[in-house]
Amino acid sequence: MFKTSRLKATYLNTWALLSLIFVLLILAPNVNILINALKPGNENWYHIKEYLLKDYIINSLTLVAFTGLFTVLLGTTLAWLVSVFEFPFRKFFKWGLILPLAIPPYIAAYTYDGLLNYTGVIQTFLRNSLKISVNQKYFNIMSMEGAVFIFTAFLYPYVYIITKSFLEKQSASLIENSRMLGRSPLEIFFYVILPLSRTAILGGVSLVILEVLNDYGVVKYFGIVTFSTAIFKTWFALGDIDSAVKLAAILMFMVFAVLLMENLLRGRKKFSYTTSKVRPITPLKLQGMKAAGAFVYCFTVFSLSFLIPTLQLVYWAFLAYQKVLHVKFWVLIINSLSAALVSSVLVIAIAVVIANYCRLNDGLISKIYSKITTLGYSIPGSVIAMGVIVFFVGLDRRLVWLYHMISENSSKLVLSTSMAMLTFAYIIRFLAIGYNAIEAGFARIGRKFLEASRTLGMNVTQTFFKVELKMLQPAIISGLVLVFIDILKELPLTLILRPFNFDTLATKSFEYAGDEMIHEAAISSLIIIIISAVSVYFFYKIGDREES
């Protein structure tokens, strides 16, 4: 008997080593947070804990709970309508209802405020044309209720998409059987569809919750104190990094609790249909009032969460384009695109290395690696930002001697004031998206080409470059696009970690909005929305077609 592990290690060296380095780099800032959280707190921390922490927790939980509830209601009913019934414009709504995903909630937040406030279109119209003065209380969206509305309207597609595809794939004959057993559509919804799609709904709603906890733009603009805003305030206003890290650690534990709960609730109930043959549901044709009702419901949601805000932004952009479109604006676009491009290329390169290593070694280590790789997407931007800052300031402190060797009057902080820090944070946060795409790509290729190539005298690395890279191309492109767009939209990380005077489309929109220059914010917001909408359309519409 001899030890096989030793033999295997010899021919995967480079991939194994690189993967290990990447995984450790991803892990370091997060571990940093957890370790720093255990240090005894200072005076600020005592103050925060005594007087403020309760509010942070209550506000964050309130947002999460109500947004979660409403997105489930909206997402499942819409998914059920478009997959089980036939009514006017159903085909359009099927993917049109996904479009709100293209509008980042912070853009929606300031758009709705601009739409509804005293000088907004609605009130101006009521005042000037109808001579109606409204009670400001009912038109103030900058509240907890308003934030729940924004999150619900722009995040429900997560629940909708997952539930819809689940229903389409899983339930044709179950629904038909229930119909033949004499159940009404409403009964079927409550007794068959809801329980059956529990896992799908849970998956969707936990994405929503993670997005809400990640949000900084909406709550900051609306002046609601949550963990995200508190972390930044503690750090920026009080200059107290230690307390900020402690808050980040608590938020991180909340996220872990969410993930754990999802796992527990899901439990054994991973329902999946027992036959492999998937038959599309034959939709039930709705008549008269019912058809009109279904249409009105879908159209209302679509208007509120896509049509109205987009039209409003187009109008504002029209008013302001002459003021905004000058040289600085092109700098902004180049900044955004190059930051997103460089980071997404790095994300994909790292994802390819780790995914290839994990697929060649199906052991415990691979499982741990892929868990760590995909963890970043669950961790809120504010937490990653704190972790990355502590990590980079520490690095700078250790590298001062090197900086002085290179240049006499170099500053003490080099890495932590450069693009490297922001890029690093992007990689941690969005690696999961790239990794999932690449992993799926590798799964589609399988191992047979690698094996064939090895019996023809090529080693793992040669095979990768000569054979698999080419076959992986679709996965690489789709991963690249997804990551690129997410980075383009990203706000909290960019806001905190960008070098001095570095603006992107996202940060500039947010700054304009914060400075009451809503018209000026419209153009950069629209660019983000258009690029995202094209990709949303591309991925879900094309993806749909491929499946059918």
Question: Is the CB of 4 or the CB of 128 nearer to another protein?
Answer: 4
- The dihedrals phi and psi of 86, each to the nearest 5 degrees, come to -110, 125
Question: Would you say 7 or 264 has its CB closer to another protein?
Answer: 7
Q: Closer to another protein at the Cβ: 108 or 472? A: 472
Shortest Cβ distance from residue 348 to another protein (Å)? 19
Residue 113: partners with Cβ closer than 8 Å, 6 or more residues away:
120, 141, 142, 221, 222, 518
Q: Contact at 8 Å (CB) between 146 and 112? A: yes
Using the minimum distance from each CB to another protein, give the nearer residue, 130 or 456: 456
**Interatomic CA distance for residues 227 and 213, integer angstroms:** 8
- Return the range that interacts with another protein (CB under 8 A); candidates 62-70, 395-403, 466-474, 482-490: 466-474
**Least distance from C-beta 12 to another protein, angstroms?**
10
Binding mask 303-342 for another protein (x = CB under 8 A): ----------------------------------------
Q: Which of residues 445-464 bind another protein (CB under 8 A)?
A: 448-449, 451-459, 462
Q: Given the complex with another protein, which of 8 and 412 has the nearer CB atom?
A: 8
- Going by C-beta distance under 8 Å and a sequence separation of 6 or more, which residues neighbour residue 227? 56, 57, 60, 213, 247, 250, 251, 254, 380, 382
SS (H, E, C) 292-352: HHHHHHHHHHHHHHHHHHHHHHHHHHHHHHHHHCCHHHHHHHHHHHHHHHHHHHHHHHHHH
Q: Does 4 bind another protein (CB under 8 A)?
A: yes
Contact flag: residue 470 with another protein (CB under 8 A) = yes
Tokens of 142: 């900058």
Q: What is the closest distance, in whole angstroms, from the C-beta atom of residue 366 to another protein in the complex?
A: 12
Sites for another protein among residues 247-276 (CB under 8 A): none
Nearer to another protein, 68 or 441 (CB): 441
Taking a C-beta distance cutoff of 8 angstroms, is the pair 209, 64 a contact? yes
Q: What is the dihedral of CA 302, 70, 371, 378, to 10 degrees?
A: 80
Distances (CA, A) of 214 to 33, 98, 494: 16, 20, 13
CA 3 to chain centre: 44
In whole angstroms, how close is the CB of 356 to another protein at the nearest point? 16
Nearer to another protein, 59 or 356 (CB): 356
Residue 8 interacts with another protein (CB under 8 A): yes or no: yes
364 binds another protein (CB under 8 A): no
Q: How many residues at the interface with another protein, by CB under 8 A?
A: 25
**How far is Cα 381 from Cα 25, in angstroms, rounded to an integer?**
17
Nearest approach, Cβ of 186 to another protein (angstroms)?
45
Q: Minimum Å distance from CB 4 to another protein?
A: 5
Nearer Cβ to another protein (136/459): 459
For residue 193 the two structure tokens come to 């569809």
Which residues inside 429-448 make contact with another protein, applying CB under 8 A?
A: 448
DSSP state of 182: T
Applying CB under 8 A, among 466, 538, 541, 542 the residue interacting with another protein is 466
371 is a contact residue toward another protein (CB under 8 A): no
The least distance separating another protein from the CB of residue 456, rounded to whole angstroms, comes to 3
Give the SS3 label for residue 277.
coil
Q: Of 1 and 38, which CB lies nearer to another protein in the complex structure?
A: 1
> Can you tell me which of 43, 50, 362, 546 binds another protein, judged by CB under 8 A?
362
DSSP 99: G
DSSP 3-state of 291 = helix
Q: Enter the DSSP assignment of 156.
A: T
CB of 8 to another protein, least distance (A): 6
Quick one: 134 or 469, whose CB is closer to another protein?
A: 469
One-letter amino acid at 511 equals E
Interacting residues with another protein (CB under 8 A):
1-2, 4, 7-8, 10-11, 362-363, 448-449, 451-459, 462, 466-467, 470-471
